[in-house]
Every structure is written in C-alpha cells, then in structure tokens.
Structure 1
C-alpha cells in the first residue's frame, strides 16, 4: 500500500481528471488505488480537511467529485498541462492588465516544476519579446511554442508547414533559421530568416506545424532593426526596413474617459484631460484608415490634427452622408 501522502496525491489526481457529474464511485477509487472503500472514505475526509471541496453525489450512480470551494487549494498538473499554463502566463505577463499577477504566478510555477519541465520553460523565458500585447488573438499549441523556443535557443534550422493568412508569410513547407519568438496583441510570432527566399519573414505560431528532425546549427544573422519588437511591429505595419512608425500619425481629443479609451487604443498613447475627455495619439496605414479608427470610439472629436487627418474625416463624413440618403429599393 502507498504511503498516506502519496495516496492522497493519487486520489486528488483521479478526482481532477473526471468531469462526469456523478464522479467516481467509492469502489472505483478503491480499485484504482488498491485500497479498501473504508480507506477511500478516510482519505476523502483528509482531503476535505486540507481544503479540497470534495462533494458526495447521492444515488445509485453517485460517488465523489471535486467541486468549487471558497479558496484555491494546491492543484496537480500533467506535464503538458504545466507547459500550457506557463505559456499562457508568459503571454499574460507581457503588458496585459494582469501582468504583475501573471508574473508572480509564473515565478511560483517555476519554483515547483521538476527539472525536465523547468528547463523547457526557461528556454521559453529567454526567447520571448513582447511589444505591447493586448487581449485576444489566437492561442498556439503550447508544445509548438516550446519546440520553436528550443530551436531558437539551440540555433538549429527548422522545417515546418505554414498555413498562411492575411498580413503574414504563407505556404509550406518552409526552411528557416529561427531568430526569435515574440508576442504582439495576444498572438505569438516566429521571426526567422527564410532560407529559400533569402529574406527575413514572420510566421504566426498558431499556423506553424514543425517537421522533424531539425536541421544543422547556424550562425545567427543580424536583424535589420534596433530590436525584435521594432522589427516585428514594422513588418506587421508593412515597412520593409523594420521601422515601427506608422506611415500616417495624428491626434484628437475624444469625449470619453481615458480609462474607457485605453483598452482599445492598441499601441496609441492616451492622455487624460479630465473626467470625460482624453487625448489620443495614434497611427494607421492611411489618413482614411486613421479617420475611421477615430470614429469607432463613437464620441465627439475635437482638435483633430494634422490637416491631412481633418481632410480624411471630411471625406469620410461625405461618404457616410451619401450612404445614409434613401435610395431605390
């Protein structure tokens, strides 16, 4: 028979894995743990004393299940679950509203991980650059994130299939020298030198399917930008040199509190002017796109600058006015 502490951990792991409303029957748990039903009942009582909300489901098909409690007790994770949690915390720790809490949780997780997992997470920690991510975006397979981070750290060539998409490199298979992993606006990207196209490319990690084995080691090239963040931001904005500035940049005073505008301002700068006014400085691909971006806040606009932005607002106003005119049915 297992020692009591080991048996309690095994029992907790079983209770976490079954989501069926009826839970585990006492007989099933006893069989799995190779103990008597009486021992199972005693161990259930011990878990409850430790703060785990184990509930009893009555009826012929009833048993024990882990329910919701008033506080968060210690949890057990499988290897892949722990890696997935670390990837999610890494993303949340890079500039989101819960960044500080996520960073502390990531540190606490790293302290209790076994060495085989801690090494994988430390590789990931050393390869992530995060230029102002925001809520939303696609969630990649954590195993792919860890595999790419390992190749970046080892400086090994990668082969993978890439499904492509608007604004990103497309097609597959690809052969690259992986330079860096980065998160932006909740999405993960791989920055790499494309060997077949002899140019720098960015790839959405949620669209990458690595092939094995990896290729030979390579000497890292110099990225054509002052930082990974600047390069990624510039490429996503369509500037070949990797410069992060928008082609068109302007400002306007919005009739809304800064706290309401900031979550939707992207990488724009929001300055509070009063309880119900703020100054938004931001950029876009074109003056028309920038004017449309200001209009989505559904509020008054004042002190719109520069003149090119005011002219774009006038053009949009004329188009919308024409569109509002009744036409033939």
Structure 2
C-alpha cells in the first residue's frame, strides 16, 4: 500500500466509468500538489465545518475518519493522510453559482399588504409523485383552506426566490421572527426562468442574475407572473426557528451550513459531507476547501456546485453575481479513491 500511495502522490491516474443513460464518467486521482492554492488555505476552518456533519455520514469508513478528525490537531495533515483528491467529470464544463439565506418581512396572518403565502407540506404529497404545478397552486387555489400557510409575504417574487434558495428568515410585524427551511417539493422538474429570458431574447446569458430577473418581473407584472409559472417546480417549507440565530440555515444533512465553506452538490456524484476542493475562476477567484452539505434542484452533474454566501441582502447580492467556471475535486477516503480504479 505504501508503494501504491507513493506512486499516486507522484502523479495522477485517469479512470473512466459509465453511468447508465449519461455521458461517460471519468475519475482522475490527483495528488495534493495538483490543487492550486492548497498549501495556503485555512484547513482548520474546513475541518471545523467537516466535523459539523461527518458523524451523520453512514458508511463505516467515514465514521472512522470522523473519529480520527476529533483527535487530530493538524487539519491539513489529516486531509492529506486519509484522503486522495478525485476529479470527477461527466463531459459538462464546471459551473459555480451562489446562494444565500434571504431575510424578508412577513406576517402570520393574511393582510392587505401580505397576500402571498409560504406553504407547509401538504399531507397528500407523496415522494416521487407529481403534485400540482406552480401555476395550479398559485392561480387555482388548490391549497387554500387547508391551514398550510406558515406565513405571508408582500411580493410573489420573494416567494419564488425563497423557494430557489430553500430557506430564509422572516421578520414578523410584531418584531419577532421565524426561520423556514426546505420541507418538500411537488415533483415537477425545475426549469430556469433565467434561461427562459435568454431564449426569449430579453437578455444575453452574461446579463442574467437574480437581481436582473427580479427587476424585470416587477417592471412587467403580467408577463412576470407568467414567467414565474414557466418553472412548474414548487417548494414547501417547515419552521426551523429552533436553529440559533448565529448559525446558518439547515442544509440537506439537517445541520447548519457555513458561509464560505459549505456548498450544494449533486449527491449522485459527490457524497454529502465530503470535503471538496474548489478552484473558482471569475472576477473574484476562490481556491478553498469546502464541505458538501447541501443539494439543490438545479445542481446536477459532477462539475456543478452552489456556494453558500451567508444571510441577508449583502450575501444575496454577492451570491447573485456568481456564475463562474473552474473545477471541483472531491476528497475521497483512500480506499474509496482506489476503488474507483478497476484493478486496484
């Protein structure tokens, strides 16, 4: 094993696989020297976030690593000793986007100002089956009178983007607040309204951002409502106000996520809880060890990640600007990394 480890650290090994119904999947096992910026990252910060969720990972090898992490005082050494970087590619170019936790104003009761509901999970919703579409829910009143309203907002665009983000904080009229997190979805495929605006020749791809979409919908209320209905996917929420205010929202692992260290990934390629090295290009390059702690309807593919930027308007503006290329490399336990290479 030591000879094999030495060989792996000296270079990279490309391994090809096949995912049914998809483009060929390739795995390239790298050395840590191949990770640009690795030496200067804050590995202790990444270790702290890793420890938040590693005990929730099922395979025994992850549990053993989690136990070892508790006793290690050298975070960088820990990752280098027990993991190998694996570049997983499916033929699509890397795309980094950003997301955040909105802070909105709302009411527990419907008022003249607050007219747009945030719904809890309907009892008749079945996992894997299609429920009513966004348009049916919002125009036909199929959920009215069922007591599912958690809160009411004053802007349908805020409801839409709250669903895109998957969680948020709501300041109520009485000065108190509540937090909502993802509860379920209606089973319809997510469709990007940004791409739809490009298809309609309203904007060029590089012009589209959350703020641009928001402003266009407000300037064009009737067409804007129809544009929102282009995405039939609809998200239901649950209250998570027990999460401390100084902690981030709950991710897919039901643990708080951390601004600048947590990412949403496609779990069919990247294990939830795994360390992931990212090399993001763009106006604000980022080379950093992240932890895969969340998922998203639009996050599909082995080279696709959504970076969590935090809570509030500033985080939202920062996240909304991100649409960058680069690459992400998953840190796999050594045995798992070698298992990706047939014959080892």
User: Scaled by the length of structure 2, what TM-score is found?
Assistant: 0.20
Higher relative contact order (CA 8 A, sep 6+): 2
Calculate the TM-score normalised by the size of structure 1.
0.21
Answer 1 or 2: which has greater strand percent. Answer: 2
Larger radius of gyration: 1
